[in-house]
Structure 1
Amino acid sequence: MSIPAHSIPVEPRWPSALALLAVFCIVEALPHHVYVIPEWVAYGAVAMVLVPMIAVALQPGNDVWRRLERNSILLFAAIYAANTTAELADMIGIITIHPPETRAVSLLSSSLSIWLVNVLTFSFLYWQIDRGGPYQRALATTQKPDWLFPQMASPEVALPNWQPKYVDYLALAFNTATAFSPTDVLPLSRRAKALMMLESVISLLTLVIVAARAVNVLP
């Protein structure tokens, strides 16, 4: 027996929308950071994600908006994963080819920009990939999880019918970018492990090579 779409509890979209806006406001406020893609592409990507998010919040039973939300987030993540890699390569090129002493502030702000967008991008990926996304998790399908949260391993300490929300995946992405390894959340699937390794590599290169070099040459 299928469950009517309108009766399925919808995960609030405001935490993910707020995280998206907060990160891009911080990135835009950073001085002299390096751009690889044009600014209008960045604004378009943000709008591409926000519009279906708002539509899903207003019309939770609409399958079209849910698919658009998922596809737009995956496209957004692909664009920014490529952009982050290109920016990181550019920063390493500045350090190794050009004298960085005159661009210390640019290096530092760019490294912070790369790190923040890296965390945001992978938090969206984790949120949408795990067990088919928020809608499929709300259905409580038998699909195997990609990550094992502590509440899932010890249900006696969790609220009844607990399911991970976007903030849980944001914390997972933040911890992966800072600890460079799993902390309290364990990856189970191969794609989860691959994504966490990729995020850790980007974060490690950003902090160890770019940010450390920028701090070293600050007057």
Structure 2
Amino acid sequence: MHHHLVHTRALDFWLTRGAIAVIAALQLLVVNDLGVGPRWLAPALELALLIPLSAATAWNQRRARQAQTDSHWQLVTHHRRLIRHAALVLTALVTVVNTAALVGLVRALLAGKAGSAPTLLLDALNIWATNVIIFALWYWSTDRGGPALRSFRMERGADFLFPQMSLDPATIGETPFVPGFVDYLFVSFTNATAFSPTDTMPLTARAKLLMMAEASISLLTVALVAARAVNILS
């Protein structure tokens, strides 16, 4: 086993940590009472998971830089898989919290207790933006085994077909294209706005189901909640 099996892009990991922090901030900014339990509970749980997860990632990256033997790389890969599972748990948590907020807002709308139209628009935009970030995390965490193995696996086992993957290697240079978090954020944003894939195609059932779920949540937020709020304004 060689060091190129473990792909560590420090910027990507910092961006994903920042994404979780942004999600926690957005949850605190929800105007109407839509969450389960106190408003601070979900952000506190997310940050409580994020801090040790970030420390473990940094520790394992340092071990990867120092690894020299196959046994060292096996330990690094094993720990990376454990960290990835913990990251998926954290992503699942923020997904459940945001979905619960959307359900709470829809229920409040149906019951006529959702507050003023401006607050509805703010909450709808908040939930939509959080949804975009959440599914960017899902795509980044699952495609080709996650960030640790992405540069090694290349097109093999890819969940998404990026346009750069179809270009002639002579066009893009000798360095192979490895998607980063910003690439997955763009995929998530375009899927949430177009309600369908745009330039990046899902290849696996997992990727298709994730994109279907994101588009459904986005459509519900925009078409039902935001449209209802605009009708109230008019």
Aligned 1:13-162 pairs, distance under 5 A: 13-32=13-32, 34-36=34-36, 38=38, 39-60=40-61, 61=64, 62-63=76-77, 65-98=79-112, 100=114, 102-140=115-153, 143-154=156-167, 155-159=169-173, 160-162=175-177
Structure 2 Cα separation of the partners of residues 120 and 146 of structure 1: 18
Question: How far is the alpha carbon of 1:58 from its aligned partner?
Answer: 4.4
Structure 2 Cα separation of the partners of residues 97 and 26 of structure 1: 24
Computed over aligned residues only, the root mean square deviation of the Cα atoms, in angstroms, reads 2.5
Which residue does the alignment assign to 1:163?
178
Q: For 2:149, what is the secondary structure of its paired residue?
A: helix
Conserved? CA contact 2:36–2:100, under 8 Å:
yes
Structure 1 Cα separation of the partners of residues 211 and 204 of structure 2: 11
2:103 aligned partner, one-letter code? A
Conserved? CA contact 1:151–1:157, under 8 Å:
no
Aligned 1:196-215 pairs, distance under 5 A: 196-215=211-230
1:138 aligned partner, one-letter code? S
Question: How far is the alpha carbon of 1:46 from its aligned partner?
Answer: 3.1
Question: How far is the alpha carbon of 1:198 from its aligned partner?
Answer: 0.6
| Structure 2: tracts of 5 or more residues without a match | 65-75
Which residue does the alignment assign to 1:173?
188
Conserved? CA contact 2:35–2:101, under 8 Å:
yes
1:172 aligned partner, one-letter code? V
Greater Cα offset, 136-145 or 201-210: 136-145
User: What TM-score do the two structures reach when normalised by structure 2?
Assistant: 0.80
Greater Cα offset, 121-130 or 108-117: 108-117
Question: How far is the alpha carbon of 1:186 from its aligned partner?
Answer: 0.4
Which residue does the alignment assign to 1:11?
9
Question: How far is the alpha carbon of 1:148 from its aligned partner?
Answer: 0.2
Change beyond 3 A, Cα 1:211–1:55: same
Question: How far is the alpha carbon of 1:54 from its aligned partner?
Answer: 4.2
- 1:7-43 alpha-carbon deviations (Å, 9 max, x no partner): 8551121122222223432442353452235422322
Greater Cα offset, 146-155 or 156-165: 156-165
| Structure 1: tracts of 5 or more residues without a match | none
Structure 2 Cα separation of the partners of residues 37 and 181 of structure 1: 34
Structure 2 Cα separation of the partners of residues 166 and 178 of structure 1: 18
Conserved? CA contact 1:33–1:110, under 8 Å:
no
User: What TM-score do the two structures reach when normalised by structure 1?
Assistant: 0.85
* Aligned residues with identical type, % of pairs: 35
- Structure 1 runs, 4 residues or longer, greater than 4 Å off: none
